[in-house]
Structure 1
């Protein structure tokens, strides 16, 4: 098995950062923006897609979200390895071109199957794009400025989150297909600019090719887990199909881990997970993203299906929370220095849980936005701003520069697996309630499930804080 080093000496061996960081940031920001924006606008557009395709159910359309997230998660690390091997610039431009092309195919979809297939192709492009984007940014940034660069990169996603609900609502008012067409001009402009300004650093061609079979095993395992959860209400938790899907997911996960331990270029380098701070940061990211995905889906469905809001009004209703994320992210640097990554993540997850708990207690079937939905939205936005960039920074700080692309891919993979689990659990808990009171009861169960996931994330964040204290005492 290929050994991985984690000493700080590797940072000293890395070449000096090239110039052109600001131009690189603009190109990377545009690409990361559209890939993050896609998540939020698709969520807002889901009810409109359901209405357009008629016979579709929410469980079927959930694969528009989960199919994307599963493929994205499974390919992120192999794509990060491929980026390290062929060069970050090549991987970034190729991924951006594929993502942009697939966005056009999504807009042309005549049915759910076509749409899901195009979303899978879109996920392949995003998997190439995301890890290489952060690596390009770090390649172009001097070592002492890299923590700030990571926070800037994370804040791009926050900006997309803030604009996404409103943009999605506006686009859906025209037609749901516009949520994909909007990617085309930004993607094409970033491709043209990127070909001119992105640094041409050589890859490491001597490294072995990534483990494609391992990626397939991970894809199948997460897909079967999602099937078992999504279909549990329809098939029954004790049915042979649900238990078979969950058992198969467990078996494939074990096979995947065994293969990762033996392959020269595994999907997950298991020695990375022996770095306590890296492992704890990724566990927290997975659990917190499960809660976040559940929050986002339930809030969209509640506004449109129970309160009867339009897509645009839903977007405006959801926007205050995400709009808090960028300023909180940029202002939280002093808190990181004071509380540490783990301590700030504990605070952020507790604030997020309080927001979801408010909804479970305060929301009623008669629309009351200011007193019911808005306080929870503001608390969740504050929690996300405190937690997500902090976890990304903690994971990045635990790795040497030689593993920037691969390490960032592992973190994003963990978050995407969390998103799959969060969506699947929420759909399972909600079911298909009939009547306002039944809907309220179902959504309250869903919000309590989100709170439970968030509190698990709080526990993982506490482990991160403990690991960082031990590392500091050991002088690592």
Structure 2
């Protein structure tokens, strides 16, 4: 009791706003953990392919589908999953996706044969596509202003690190568990992490109040048209090496026709007062359109670097999977370092930060190509470490700031769908980049068996994609200066 006789207030219990603030950041950590797992699985399997081939007697076609099947179903699920999260609750869709991803990972690790592994990888990709849009949507839902930029900075760091650290993580697991069965632990490692994240998500993630949930239909024709378009565009890209001949490229114009039909249908839906799968208003925002295009071409450039670099080190120079993974860590370290502060920097510098960062990535990749040329042989990895660090420092200032700027004017109720579109662009960009850069790389290796020159030409091709992203960033900077826009209404 106080001296006045009234009950004294406790001084040790935190205030409700303080508890809520801590819970938001804990919820963000859960989201980032799930996002890290799903993105790690896009790159961790690359160094495990020789182990799968040996352990399962898998064919090259099987191995191709282990990689490309995940990317394909991941990309297919993103936009419908984002829409489901907007309508029915991001927490609920996140939980379903995370549980399915954990179970699918266990199934992949237990797969008795290559065909079963491919099937479970397809399921795992669907689960990843359910989870990913909810992460960005939950950030939009839980944070505002500078805090949102900081949260997106942490998401960008997660994206950069998970993509770059995949080869190292895979190499460590194969080194620890052997080349015959080590590939299984690439999937088993997701089980305890996924289970712990699921338990934490049940307690920490905010549920949308029932009165804010929308129960409109999911637009089945829109889902069908978009799904067919994504398949038509991605399939020849992810199967570029496996499918010989030129007939596969006929899928691309078919995909363009399907996308045009999808867009026409979405506008018709909106005109009739119905709820479209992808809100046409999103693309009236120049910041969103240019940011999505930037993501598409940038992911086509930077993600392909690890694909050709690990092949160069393992197949060209004879390094082990672990050594190849370690050689990629300068990029991961640089990306983690700058992404951690990118949230604060983007609030101050805006799109200028992305322009500056893309220049750094391009210079780093060009210097990497030069280092491999000047220092041939097994010491090439040492020579490339500093340029890769520079490219990583730049990359850490691209992904999260671009995500923040791209989604900054998107209404919260459309955040899931917008994130789905943005990440679909990233997945298509990754597939297209691997097809384009891989074609240059493999053509020279096949014709001349000159691994160093093949890597240099591949890096030059990746740099051209980064420069295309730079053009998008400059265009967005120019339009922002001329005519600042408001959020879509």
**Shorter-chain TM-score: what band?**
0.7 to 0.9
Q: 1:250 — aligned with what? A: 256
- How much does 1:28 deviate? 1.8
**3-state SS, counterpart of residue 200 of structure 1:** coil
Q: 2:12 — aligned with what? A: none
Alignment equivalent of 1:356, drawn from 365, 386, 393: 365
Alignment equivalent of 1:89, drawn from 85, 88, 91: 91
Distance 1:279 1:380, change over 3 A: same
Find the aligned partners of 2:220 and 2:48 in 1 and give their Cα distance.
33
CA contact (8 A) 2:149 2:347 kept: no
Q: 1:328 — aligned with what? A: 338
- How much does 1:140 deviate? 3.3
Q: 2:27 — aligned with what? A: 24
Is residue 260 from structure 1 mapped to residue 266 from structure 2 by the alignment?
yes
Alignment of 1:193-208 (within 5 A): 193-202=200-209, 204-208=212-216
CA-atom RMSD in angstroms? 2.7
Alignment equivalent of 1:372, drawn from 380, 383, 391: 383
Find the aligned partners of 1:74 and 1:428 in 2 and give their Cα distance.
24
Q: 2:115 — aligned with what? A: 113
Q: 1:149 — aligned with what? A: 151
Structure number with larger C-alpha Rg: 2
CA contact (8 A) 2:327 2:381 kept: no
**3-state SS, counterpart of residue 470 of structure 2:** helix
TM-score by length of 1: 0.87
Find the aligned partners of 2:214 and 2:476 in 1 and give their Cα distance.
35
Q: 1:273 — aligned with what? A: 283
Distance 1:164 1:108, change over 3 A: same
Distance 1:116 1:253, change over 3 A: farther
- How much does 1:420 deviate? 1.5
- How much does 1:90 deviate? 0.8
Is residue 191 from structure 1 mapped to residue 198 from structure 2 by the alignment?
yes
**3-state SS, counterpart of residue 450 of structure 2:** helix
- How much does 1:88 deviate? 1.5
Q: 1:445 — aligned with what? A: 457
Distance 1:302 1:151, change over 3 A: same
Q: Report the number of matched residues.
A: 455
Distance 1:122 1:235, change over 3 A: closer
**3-state SS, counterpart of residue 367 of structure 1:** helix
Structure 2 residue runs of 5 or longer lacking an equivalent are 1-18
- How much does 1:466 deviate? 1.4
- How much does 1:232 deviate? 6.0
CA contact (8 A) 1:70 1:219 kept: no
> Which segment drifts farther, 304-313 or 33-42?
33-42
Find the aligned partners of 1:475 and 1:94 in 2 and give their Cα distance.
34
Is residue 67 from structure 1 mapped to residue 73 from structure 2 by the alignment?
no
CA contact (8 A) 2:335 2:395 kept: yes
CA contact (8 A) 1:18 1:139 kept: no
Distance 1:111 1:459, change over 3 A: farther
Find the aligned partners of 1:155 and 1:195 in 2 and give their Cα distance.
24
Find the aligned partners of 1:161 and 1:246 in 2 and give their Cα distance.
27
Alignment equivalent of 1:220, drawn from 203, 228, 238: 228
CA contact (8 A) 2:350 2:405 kept: no
TM-score by length of 2: 0.84
**3-state SS, counterpart of residue 374 of structure 1:** helix
Find the aligned partners of 1:369 and 1:28 in 2 and give their Cα distance.
37
Q: 2:162 — aligned with what? A: 160
CA contact (8 A) 1:62 1:423 kept: no
Query: Cα deviations across residues 340-372 of structure 1 (Å, max 9, x unaligned)?
Result: 22x222222222222222233331551224553
Is residue 295 from structure 1 mapped to residue 305 from structure 2 by the alignment?
yes
Find the aligned partners of 1:405 and 1:235 in 2 and give their Cα distance.
34
- How much does 1:422 deviate? 1.4
- How much does 1:96 deviate? 0.3
CA contact (8 A) 2:342 2:400 kept: no
Distance 1:197 1:469, change over 3 A: same
- How much does 1:271 deviate? 1.9
- How much does 1:87 deviate? 1.1
- How much does 1:176 deviate? 1.1
Q: 1:37 — aligned with what? A: 40
Query: Cα deviations across residues 212-245 of structure 1 (Å, max 9, x unaligned)?
Result: 44334334334333443466677776x4x23433
- How much does 1:423 deviate? 1.9
- How much does 1:65 deviate? 2.8
Find the aligned partners of 1:31 and 1:388 in 2 and give their Cα distance.
18
CA contact (8 A) 1:306 1:439 kept: yes
Structure 1 residue runs of 5 or longer lacking an equivalent are 1-16
CA contact (8 A) 1:78 1:212 kept: no
